[in-house]
Amino acid sequence: MGEQPVGTGEKRVTWAELYFDLVFVFAVTQVSQLLHHHHDWAGVGEALVAFVPVYWCWVGTTVQANIRDVDGVGGRLGIFAVGLGGLFMALALPGAYGSRGVLFGAAYWLSRLVLLAQVGRIRGAWQGPYGVGALVSGPLMVAGGLVEDGPRVALWALAACCDLAAPLAFRSRLAKVRYDPAHLPERFGLFLLVALGESIVGIGGPVAQSRLHPAQLVSVALAFVISCGLWWLYFGYAADAMRFALERAESRRDLIRWVFSYGHLALIAGVIAVAVGFGETVAEPGAALGAGPLGLLYGGCALYLLSFCYTRKMMFGVVSPTRLAAAALVLVLLPLMVRLPALAALGVLAAVLVGLNAWEQLRVRRSARSGSAGAAA
């Protein structure tokens, strides 16, 4: 790709992009439902394989909006066309491993073809991730939709691997692209908010039509504390650190790939897992959780915390010791929660996140007094 000017001043998120995100609110809900119905190891794998192309369509649209002016008529129509493909993918998700596999694959291919057309004026655009999506992973997704369940998962997993590997394979070409450092952190933060919104649905949806006895209200409150804790860990500390790192990075290309494209895939997947865990937990606070719901709730939280350790390592060369310790504690607690009531599992996890945020807030204040920057990434 040739270098593209981004204009003067900070690039702002457009209204078209925000409207586009509404499609992915629905898509995340559909992925959550897929995981809700099958949350054993096979179900988790299938949900991940289905989520990657949804996420990657969003990433492709976000990156092309960063390197191009998309606030004209052509740019808006392109974003809406990809949004239509995303809507078709979301509609197909409940039956993606059944009768709607072709629709899921074809909708993905349509989105990738539109994205390639959108960046087609950039020299050599097809010789990069956009070309891989349109010419390799898109056809693989359609082919997967045409075959039975086992080969379908294999072909879709291969397509996902091709997409995820493309930025690495074409990193020298991507080095020529000029990225705006303000736009991307805001966009990826907004997608994380979409996933956190799904956690609110997971809290309220299961109990909205029930009689709401006191134990349920307590479970709703504890689940909301957990959701707030997840929000605080990102937007209270990490979001500013990510923008700081991107503005000062010697290679924005590498930081975008490792921290945003890959790191946020893990962060968002962790939040979705927690959201599905809420759906299995808050309605019956007195019942013991099975291994599946508990694994989603605690395992998703641990993945979220470990993802911050990874992103901080990529940004500053060090791992966050507090988040690593909290992730280890969550994993140690997981098997101990199996026989306890759901209310207790929620309470313990809420206590861990509140304690972690309180400790990190103390570290931020100490860092502010000492004048150091970026300590709580």
Condensed to tens digits (0 to 9), the pLDDT of residues 192-219 reads 999 999 999 999 988 888 888 899 999 9
- Cα separation, 358 vs 129, in Å, equals 41
- Cα dist. 323→189, 310, 352, 353, 358 in Å? 19, 10, 11, 10, 12
Mean pLDDT score of the chain: 90
Q: Please report how many Cα atoms fall inside a 13 Å half-sphere around the Cα of residue 200, on the Cβ side.
A: 9
State mean pLDDT over 254-272: 95
Tokens 């349109």 correspond to 134
Q: Per the structure block, which two tokens stand in for 255? A: 């930081």
- Cα separation, 262 vs 257, in Å, equals 6
Query: 158: alpha, beta or left, given left = phi > 0 and alpha = psi -120 to 50?
Result: alpha
- pLDDT of 374 > 60? The answer is no
pLDDT of residue 4: 40
pLDDT of residue 126: 67
Burial of 99 (0-12, 13-18, 19+ CB in 10 A): exposed
- pLDDT of 41 > 50? The answer is yes
Q: Per the structure block, which two tokens stand in for 311? A: 């992103």
Render 196-211 in DSSP notation, one character per residue.
HHHHHHHHHGGGTTS-
**Confidence band (pLDDT; 50, 70, 90) for 2?**
very low
State mean pLDDT over 63-79: 91
**Confidence band (pLDDT; 50, 70, 90) for 315?**
very high
pLDDT of residue 6: 40
- What are the backbone dihedrals phi and psi of residue 341, each rounded to the nearest 5 degrees, phi first? -60, 155
State mean pLDDT over 69-86: 94
Choose the weakest-confidence range: 72-81, 270-279, 360-369. 360-369
Domain boundaries, the chain: 15-174, 183-370
